[in-house]
């Protein structure tokens, strides 16, 4: 069980925008706790002490799913498009995941420090919404049907280095968003790296790169031609030192 946040439970209300298309927002003190009954099964096989392959499956039965919705409400003799968190419907989330890690410690010299790791997840979901509140067959917010990540790493001679690529397919942001239509985010992949060097067992210097290929976030409404957002965060680099006492 997950309780709503205090912000979502607020009693505030805001009204504004154009007279022809009035909009409102605020909190919702009538929200109920989000409940989930979960079933999971997994198996792992270890090739050696640090190399393995794994597989798993999961099923989640959901009740009172909380989501941001935009619905028409009547206030002051007008119809406002009201956006706030509301108690959603019942449904399920199910899927499978596979993963693994393999180290090349059997190779000679410097090559023995290399390794690879990765995983893949497939998710299927169904939300039983009131047909009067949704013109589209929406699943649950924030769930990509496909997601995967892969890494190449090196651990030897005091060097700790990892390069990772994380990817997810397009997914739903909100079933009823702008003008009551679904808000979606396109598929997104990001490349990151981290390199550290241990001068002593207690002192390490490091450098990190986040989104080094400068990928952009793209959001759209119902169909991809209805553009909503293009967000560019740029590549980010950090460096510093860690000291353990």
- Per-residue pLDDT tens digits for 2-45: 888 888 888 988 888 787 888 888 999 989 888 899 999 999 99
Alpha carbon distance 118, 100 (integer Å): 6
> What is the pLDDT at residue 236?
95
The share of the chain scoring above pLDDT 70, in percent, equals 96
Q: Give the distance from CA 229 to its chain's centroid.
A: 17
- pLDDT bucket at 126, cuts 50 / 70 / 90: confident
Task: Tell me the three state secondary structure of residue 222.
Answer: coil
- Per-residue pLDDT tens digits for 45-77: 999 888 999 999 999 998 887 777 778 888 888
Task: Say if residue 135's pLDDT is above 60.
Answer: no
Q: Where are the domains of the chain?
A: 34-243
Alpha carbon distance 56, 59 (integer Å): 11
Given the structure tokens 């990151």, which residue do they identify?
192
Task: Say if residue 201's pLDDT is above 80.
Answer: yes
Ramachandran angles phi, psi of 42, nearest 5°: -150, 160
Q: Give the distance from CA 205 to its chain's centroid.
A: 30
Task: Say if residue 134's pLDDT is above 60.
Answer: no
The share of the chain scoring above pLDDT 90, in percent, equals 53
- Measure Cα distances from 50 to 68, 108, 115, 138 in Å: 43, 18, 10, 41
- Return the CATH number of 34-243, one of 2.40.160.20, 3.40.50.720, 2.40.170.20, 3.40.309.10: 2.40.170.20
């Amino acid at each position: 069980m997950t309780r709503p946040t205090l912000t979502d439970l607020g009693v505030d209300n805001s009204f504004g925008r154009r007279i022809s298309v009035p909009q409102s927002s605020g909190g919702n003190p009538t929200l109920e706790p989000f409940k989930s009954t979960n079933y999971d099964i997994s198996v792992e096989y270890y090739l050696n002490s640090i190399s393995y392959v794994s597989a798993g499956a999961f099923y989640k039965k959901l009740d009172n799913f909380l989501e941001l919705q935009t619905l028409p409400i009547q206030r002051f003799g007008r119809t406002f498009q009201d956006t706030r968190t509301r108690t959603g419907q019942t449904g399920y989330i199910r899927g499978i995941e596979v993963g693994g890690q393999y180290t090349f410690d059997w190779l000679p010299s410097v090559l023995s420090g290399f390794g690879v790791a990765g995983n893949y997840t497939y998710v299927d979901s169904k939300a039983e919404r009131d047909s009067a509140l949704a013109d589209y067959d929406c699943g649950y917010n924030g769930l990509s049907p496909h997601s995967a990540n892969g890494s190449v790493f090196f651990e030897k001679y005091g060097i700790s280095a990892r390069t990772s690529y994380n990817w997810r397919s397009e997914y739903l942001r909100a079933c009823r968003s702008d003008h009551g239509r679904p808000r979606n985010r396109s598929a997104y992949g990001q490349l990151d790296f981290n390199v550290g060097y241990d001068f002593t067992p207690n002192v390490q210097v490091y450098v990190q790169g986040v989104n080094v290929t400068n990928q952009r976030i793209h959001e759209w409404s119902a169909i991809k031609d209805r553009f909503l957002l293009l967000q560019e965060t740029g590549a980010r680099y950090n460096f510093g030192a860690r000291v353990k006492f």
